[in-house]
Structure 1
């Protein structure tokens, strides 16, 4: 097998690509570092030039995922302006779109057991990405009277939990989890129910 990493000088990225492919096929705990090396076309020993082990490799995949995720979330947030509601809804849709388009990254980020506090670079980019959702929540919550206003972190966590649930149950094609409604509709109506409960949408919207 050709050692692609050596020939093209992209061993690190080849290993991350192999990791993402194996995550999609087998899950984050379903493959070994040797399998990732074989998928990348290098010897297992070569992996240790760049990564301490499998978790370190998955953490790099997660970091790259958060970078993409942060860019998408920020773009969605800015695209929705000047309406705080439009920005908030756009961020929710971007979350679902990311999970569908980048399933390997999504699993590495949220389902691998890798803490985003594992290293400073991962923590920084994860904080930036999730901060977009908190910022959108804070903007929208500003329309709620102060005595009834939830903390932005709580507001964002509720929407994050709802978005993640829709992704897990209905957007990934898991066996036995089909819904008669598109995931986008489930998320939109769920957010609508939540926002109406906070008085941010009229009853008939």
Structure 2
């Protein structure tokens, strides 16, 4: 591919797209800025006009991922209304769907070691995504007597952790972690067990 220098039409986004492809192929620590530049068709020196280093590039990939993730979660939440239970379950499924459709973004967001507080823009959009799941949890927890009601942040964190575990172990072809059940079924039944424990859905007969 010919080197086009920093006059490349949208170099910043081209570098992000290159990084996402390399992240999918090699992981977040398996490539250099020079490789990202080569993938984008520019000189390594041109990269530094936009990013101070590889971690800044990955942070931008994560930020863009959170933008999509927050929109996906919001759409799932809205689609489940007016039922608080349906909205809550939909956000759990949306987590799994996002991880499958956007693996590069997912890895940059959750497996790169980049803090969501690395820069203000990343922190804001990451919080927006968390707020959607917390709002869904808060809506559903209103059906629990106040004295038995867990904090919405804890409620949503439990489901986030369960969703993340299913993705990591069974939805992204982790070596040696083959499940006899589809990831969607694992997540659905896991959420069901959790909600039954809180008395939010009736027990199986």
1:3 positional shift: 3.3
Are residues 83 and 4 of structure 1, via their aligned partners in 2, closer, same or farther at CA, if it must alter by over 3 Å? Answer: farther
Aligned length: 205
Q: Name the SS for the 1:118 alignment partner.
A: coil
Q: In 2, distance between residues paired with 1:156 and 1:77?
A: 13
Aligned to 1:189: 189
Q: Name the SS for the 1:163 alignment partner.
A: helix
Whether 1:198 and 2:198 are equivalent positions in the alignment is yes
Aligned to 1:84: 84
Q: In 2, distance between residues paired with 1:73 and 1:119?
A: 22
Structure 2's unaligned 5+ residue stretches are none
- Detail structure 1 runs of 4+ shifted over 6 Å in the superposition: none
CA contact (8 A) 1:3 1:42 kept: yes
Aligned to 1:126: 126
1:173 positional shift: 1.0
Q: In 2, distance between residues paired with 1:92 and 1:98?
A: 10
CA contact (8 A) 1:5 1:14 kept: no
Are residues 4 and 197 of structure 1, via their aligned partners in 2, closer, same or farther at CA, if it must alter by over 3 Å? Answer: farther
Aligned to 2:41: 41
Alignment of 1:25-104 (within 5 A): 25-104=25-104
CA contact (8 A) 1:134 1:152 kept: yes
Deviation string for 1:81-104 (max 9, x for gaps)?
A: 000000000000100000000000
1:8 positional shift: 4.7
Are residues 192 and 5 of structure 1, via their aligned partners in 2, closer, same or farther at CA, if it must alter by over 3 Å? Answer: farther
Q: Name the SS for the 1:39 alignment partner.
A: helix
Aligned to 1:23: 23
Aligned to 2:141: 141
Q: In 2, distance between residues paired with 1:8 and 1:87?
A: 43
Aligned to 1:173: 173
Q: Name the Cα RMSD after superposition.
A: 1.2
1:4 positional shift: 5.3
Q: Report the TM-score, using the length of structure 2 for normalisation.
A: 0.97
Deviation string for 1:103-155 (max 9, x for gaps)?
A: 00001001101111111111110000111000000000010000000000000
Structure 1's unaligned 5+ residue stretches are none
Q: Report the TM-score, using the length of structure 1 for normalisation.
A: 0.97
CA contact (8 A) 2:5 2:43 kept: no
